[in-house]
Amino acid sequence: MPEINLVEAVNQALAYEMEHDPSVMALGEDIGVNGGVFRATLGLRERFGQDRVLDTPLSEVLIGAMSIGLSTMKIRPVAEIQFSGFLYSNLDNIINHASRMRNRTQGRLSCPMVIRSPSGGGIHAPEHHSESPEAMFAHVPGIRVVIPSSPLRAYGLLLAAIRDPDPVIFLEPTRLYRLFKQEVPDNGKAELLDVCLTIREGTDVTLVSWGAMMNEVQIAAETLSTEGIEAEVIDVATIKPLDMETILKSVAKTGRCVIVHEAPRCAGFGAEIAANLAEHGLLTLFAPVCRVTGYDAVMPLAKLEKSYIPSVEKIIKAVRKTVQFA
Amino acid sequence: MPEINLVEAVNQALAYEMEHDPSVMALGEDIGVNGGVFRATLGLRERFGQDRVLDTPLSEVLIGAMSIGLSTMKIRPVAEIQFSGFLYSNLDNIINHASRMRNRTQGRLSCPMVIRSPSGGGIHAPEHHSESPEAMFAHVPGIRVVIPSSPLRAYGLLLAAIRDPDPVIFLEPTRLYRLFKQEVPDNGKAELLDVCLTIREGTDVTLVSWGAMMNEVQIAAETLSTEGIEAEVIDVATIKPLDMETILKSVAKTGRCVIVHEAPRCAGFGAEIAANLAEHGLLTLFAPVCRVTGYDAVMPLAKLEKSYIPSVEKIIKAVRKTVQFA
Amino acid sequence: MSTIAEFKIPYSQFLDHKGEVVQPLPEFAQDSKILIPLYRAMVEKRTFDSKAIALQRTGRMGTYASSLGQEAVGVGIGAAMKADDVLVPSYREYGAQFWRGVKMREVLLYWSGDERSNNYECQKTDLPICVTIGAHAGHAVGVAYALKLRNKNQAAVCTIGDGATSKGDFYEAINAAGVWKLPLVYVVSNNKFAISIRYEQQTAAQTIAQKAIAAGFSGEQIDGNDVIAVRQAVDQALQKARRGDGPTLIEAMTYRLSDHTTADDASRYRTQEELSQHWVFEPISRLRKYLTELKVWGKNEEDALIKECAAKVQREVDEYLNTPPQDPSGMFDHLYETLPSAFEDQREELRKKGRVHA
Amino acid sequence: MSTIAEFKIPYSQFLDHKGEVVQPLPEFAQDSKILIPLYRAMVEKRTFDSKAIALQRTGRMGTYASSLGQEAVGVGIGAAMKADDVLVPSYREYGAQFWRGVKMREVLLYWSGDERSNNYECQKTDLPICVTIGAHAGHAVGVAYALKLRNKNQAAVCTIGDGATSKGDFYEAINAAGVWKLPLVYVVSNNKFAISIRYEQQTAAQTIAQKAIAAGFSGEQIDGNDVIAVRQAVDQALQKARRGDGPTLIEAMTYRLSDHTTADDASRYRTQEELSQHWVFEPISRLRKYLTELKVWGKNEEDALIKECAAKVQREVDEYLNTPPQDPSGMFDHLYETLPSAFEDQREELRKKGRVHA
Ligand SMILES: Cc1ncc(C[n+]2csc(CCOP(=O)(O)OP(=O)(O)O)c2C)c(N)n1
Ligand SMILES: Cc1ncc(C[n+]2csc(CCOP(=O)(O)OP(=O)(O)O)c2C)c(N)n1
Ligand SMILES: [Mg+2]
Ligand SMILES: [Mg+2]
């Protein structure tokens, strides 16, 4: 089986689901003949026709809004927002309508829709192309927020997201799109949503992260292992609803926790995890809960983005400090 | 001196600043001849003319966007978004432009602008009129988020917000608009931004909140006092940047902390405070950090809103449990 | 300089405010058996309207948005649509909603602040009203696109206000509807106000109909107080939509005779005199005059109708007032199809707590 | 049915693609001393353009958006504006930005990913380019409103793309500009593409100029590859704006001869043949032909100009390449006017860490 990268895995999942469920359609800017600016929809238009792989005008509000209308009519839209910075204009419709239609009509109508968007920095893109907005979505009742960290998980989680009966914000780590490849069987098997995945077992500290940062976190964990620090590594994957149980269990074992994300620290999603530890895991904590995050500054343009994104060294330092705390 | 309510205090601050600074203007829907749907801009059009008290078309995106343009040109706009649920369509411009113009131009241009909006529930308003979106704004680098909890603070903080050289989101607790009155001298004195205010001293627990919930929190504190529990009560007031020092100092003294907010719990701003305690105050904590919050459900329509908003009893129960924890 | 494009905005009216026919009537309007139900529906809606305001004023319901004076728009739309078309309504088009099966008690329950109201018993497909002004213009594009994909000869109608046409959502929607030639009819109720903002403060466009030019399809203005004009224009536009000839924008000229909502006091921004002038043009009396002249309607019919309407509205009010309260934990019951376990404890807490009385 | 409103969209061109005068020239264009600087500016911009692409291709700069073929729009705008007018630019109007004092090295620094680039040394008031398509249409309303409040006889020009006209932001902006009769000129560079999306997929409107009808002011289409037409139309619109007669929408018909950006491969969605056809209409050669025919331009002048441009661009490139890197802690220096103490430790951390090399 040939290995594929994350963006190819997204493409494979889309193709699988469009093939097997005629109610699924894709829409977005440049997703048709151009195959998407990252090529996530490559070949889909040729295969499924331009009506089901719909190039939209340059109208993000419309993309979100029409996905709501489509899904109330039992079409399952998978919308692409070209870059995460253009997602914000969609928040209105996501918060005020997509997330509420089921509750508003007590189940009469619902919005099983997916909004896919690249997220995070590290590819030297222009301004607004490197945002990490997951915390904002996590605050919205009624939706799911899912972030894959590998080609395999992207395939399985995207299938799950499309099949989910409720709206899902699916944030694809741009930095991982082409970073590495895996074998990804095209078997249509969805991964479970709403659960964290323990990627590595360990006894000394729990390292929690998601998306692109899983890459740095795993490198850090391997390096730390060589100095005798065994980190348990958790990939949150579904940011909302949060599977806090898995994290609490791990911290109950390790007594220490370092949370890593790229988004700004203040009111980032790391805060939610740390707050839960302070409430439900306090007695298990042997050390302060440490957040290693992006700065509370505007995500810089290309020249400084590497200084912004938490580095492997920064993670390692934080873990060492946490483990040495007594 | 006659006592005035919170919405009158907002009006007084606006009038004061427009009188003393000709570069200040107000804009929004129905703020002119109608004086605003809550009457926050009552009489301003007559006093300062329709060019400086500008009725806009029904265009929230435009209201935010033009405030950016105005402020780069050294006009100081104070925009009103009629209800908090209509703020979301403004996030795009706030996040992508207002908060960044200074950094983007390295100080050449900046956006000293205020966006005022009622926030929170409790007045039996229709859907989208009762949102508590502060956590989303708190995640945005480059802005301030300010929430007054009394007529006095509304006056002083709004003056400070208008004079601040950077963008301020000013969330006015709808529930407090007419709840109580205070003497508010019209002396043009701004309150300090970026600091928490300790409203009540206490030794047994630190109660942290902001906005409308300060009302329930203060009642709870008084009630608890009768059973011998002395709560230190902190009004955060400036949500971002957060004055964590004051909170940490208080918790260092009390060893216990209960955070109260109306917004949904998950990724609410309470998480940021709790996370800081878990990181910087862990050794001072004698009990789990408790968050008393709105539910992770859609803010319900009028019939159930009282069931949604944390009640005095719920706060009291949480404090008791926190204080009794050993 | 040469001219590269030219546009005309047509206007149409059949029955003027005096009840006189100003141009040959469309076929349906030559049949009083079709006209009378339109008349009845308008009277019924207006009866409902006064009752709803009374309920609000006596503390038995929350804020209510009256559609006094705008009856012809909703009723005309309702009558023109087929049952399996889809309505994407704004909050003042009760006339259309009632026609399509929404119950009066559901509307009352809605304005009392109860989500269960939107789970319409007899109307399963239409969207509920959209409170964030203009957003549903985009939802309607999705609805119409779905209809087009399914190719079932159905169409969607989206109703919005004059104020709503200032929202970007509206333009993004009509622009896309134009590109894809969707089976979609936008009806703008131009009642001259968006709360206190007058039409002239809302837009410099002479007509709202011409906003369709920006989207490359046709717009037309009609007398929105002439239910015949409304029904005819919507019917024509729906036929065009079904033929695959794309969307239409209809600007229905009407006037908000009420306050914006019961929370508003319109006397702050308009005079009694202005209001009185517009009463002359309201939609019900002109049709009564016309029907009376045709001798198909008289005092007996009118008296009977008034009684019937009062009785029906009262029945609905009783049903509304007798609706048992929802358990607070209900706020979690339809949050997701299946509540994620992460939120189970919150629902449990609410179940135990029970109802908090305001 | 009667007609309630009528509209016409004018089109104008002075110099066709063969360099022939198709209608009497405006006064300024009868003076070759005015025309030659326009020509020079276009050539200079194009020289810059190829150099910028070369820098990107050789890894010395990031993604770059070329404006090959669209030179007349930017230069025409720059020439028509007064120094104290305000430009609210999109990212392809380098021609206008250069004319107004923005340095080539600043543009290069921008596309290399360095915020310091927007702190223009010689242009203090114009906004930097806006990457979120269409948002700046609304910023321009604020800018123009400020100018109107200050009553200084200044005006603003906002440039945007054809794709941008599908954003709600754009319509909310033009609608409001119409209501307040702002001193504001929108120039849409209709280069037929928004990345891969063709004009016909973007809107069903026959022209973009007609979108102004939705906002109640006048729109016109011009040959955007005719710098005379651009300068003339913008000049007239600015005069109208200064007179207090409100905004204008100018649709400048041009064509993107380049890829969307260096990150794009336009051959995926358009043929070489289509591209070649449009080279015929590009703006520079027609003006050269015309000037040559006037005998005010010849091979000597052309050779000298090419050398001058190359030298100037090289100087700017050198300056750009020699720009010392910014300290990472700089990301906090202009986050607020005064950094709140809550973030001081973060700046400190960055200061200590120093620069991380990619
Ligand atoms: C996005 C948004 N902004 C503001 C409001 C508050 N609001 C409710 S109705 C209304 C006026 C609507 O005017 P129009 O579209 O003309 O409809 P009408 O009320 O006249 O039927 C406003 C501003 C809202 N509901 N949604
Ligand atoms: C809001 C937003 N959506 C999407 C993008 C990605 N994007 C960058 S340029 C572009 C096309 C713009 O087309 P047009 O307005 O015609 O300008 P042109 O590139 O042709 O000059 C798109 C979709 C963006 N920058 N902003
Ligand atoms: Mg209206
Ligand atoms: Mg273009």
Min Cα–Cα distance to chain A from D33, Å = 39
| Pocket-testing residue among D195, D264, D278, ligand 2, by greatest number of atoms within 8 A of Cβ | D195
Catalytic residue among A97, A129, A261, A280: A129
User: Does residue B90 have its Cβ closer than 6 Å to ligand 1?
Assistant: no
Residue D333: the pLDDT is 98
- A partners (3+ CB pairs within 8 A) are B, C, D
User: Which of C127, C141, C338 is nearest residue A62 as measured by Cβ atoms?
Assistant: C141
Max distance between CA atoms of chain B, in angstroms, equals 62
Between the CA of D130 and the centroid of ligand 4 the distance, in Å, is 15
* Tens-digit pLDDT string for chain A (326 aa): 899 999 999 999 999 999 999 999 999 999 999 999 999 999 999 999 999 999 999 999 999 999 999 999 999 999 999 999 999 999 999 999 999 999 999 999 999 999 999 999 999 999 999 999 999 999 999 999 999 999 999 999 999 999 999 999 999 999 999 999 999 999 999 999 999 999 999 999 999 999 999 999 999 999 999 999 999 999 999 999 999 999 999 999 999 999 999 999 999 999 999 999 999 999 999 999 999 999 999 999 999 999 999 999 999 999 999 999 98
User: Does residue C195 have its Cβ closer than 6 Å to ligand 1?
Assistant: yes
Token match 């709202």: residue? C208
Q: Is the pLDDT of residue C358 over 60?
A: no
Which segments of chain D have a pLDDT < 50?
A: 358
Q: Phi-psi region for residue A98, left (φ > 0), alpha (ψ -120 to 50) or beta? A: alpha
Contacts 24+ apart (CB under 8 A), C235-244: C235/C26, C235/C28, C235/C80, C237/C185, C238/C80, C238/C81, C238/C82, C238/C85, C238/C155, C238/C157, C238/C185, C241/C155, C241/C182, C241/C183, C241/C184, C241/C185, C242/C153, C242/C154, C242/C155, C242/C183, C244/C181, C244/C183
| A97 flagged as catalytic | no
Residue C356: the pLDDT is 61
Comparing C-alpha atoms, which of B94, B82, B159, B65 is closest to residue B119?
A: B82
Tokens of C104: 């009066």
User: Does residue B60 have its Cβ closer than 6 Å to ligand 1?
Assistant: yes
Using a 6 Å CB cutoff, which residues line ligand 2? Answer: A 29, 58, 60, 82, 86; D 92, 131-133, 161-164, 189, 191, 193-195, 256, 260
Between the CA of D90 and the centroid of ligand 2 the distance, in Å, is 10
Flag if B240 and A104 touch (Cβ within 8 Å).
no
Could you give the CA distance from residue C210 to residue C233 in angstroms, rounded to a whole number? 16
For ligand 2, atom 12, which residue shows the shortest CA distance?
D194
Could you give the CA distance from residue D142 to residue B26 in angstroms, rounded to a whole number? 12
Residue D354: the pLDDT is 76
Which segments of chain B have a pLDDT < 70?
A: none
Whether the CA torsion B137, B139, B144, B150 is positive or negative: it is positive
Flag if B57 and D176 touch (Cβ within 8 Å).
yes
Looking at C58-167, list the stretches that DSSP marks H as alpha helix, in order from N- to C-terminal side.
71-80, 94-99, 104-111, 135-150
Residues of chain C contacting B42 with CB distance shorter than 8 Å:
none
Residue A94: the pLDDT is 98
Flag if C213 and D221 touch (Cβ within 8 Å).
no
> What residues of C act catalytically?
256, 260, 269
Residues of chain B contacting A279 with CB distance shorter than 8 Å:
274, 288-291
Residues of chain B contacting D337 with CB distance shorter than 8 Å:
102, 107, 110, 165-166
Residue B257 three-state SS? strand
The torsion angles phi and psi of A74, rounded to 5 degrees, stand at 70, 20
ipTM > 0.95, yes or no: yes
Mean pLDDT, chain C, whole residue set: 97
Which residue in chain A is spatially nearest to C149 when comparing CA positions?
A51
pTM for the full model? Answer: 0.98
Token match 């114009």: residue? D126
Residue C151: the pLDDT is 84
- Strands D86-88 and C184-190, by their bridges, are unpaired
Residue D358: the pLDDT is 46
Residue C9: the pLDDT is 98
Residues of chain D contacting C4 with CB distance shorter than 8 Å:
9-11, 206-207, 209, 221
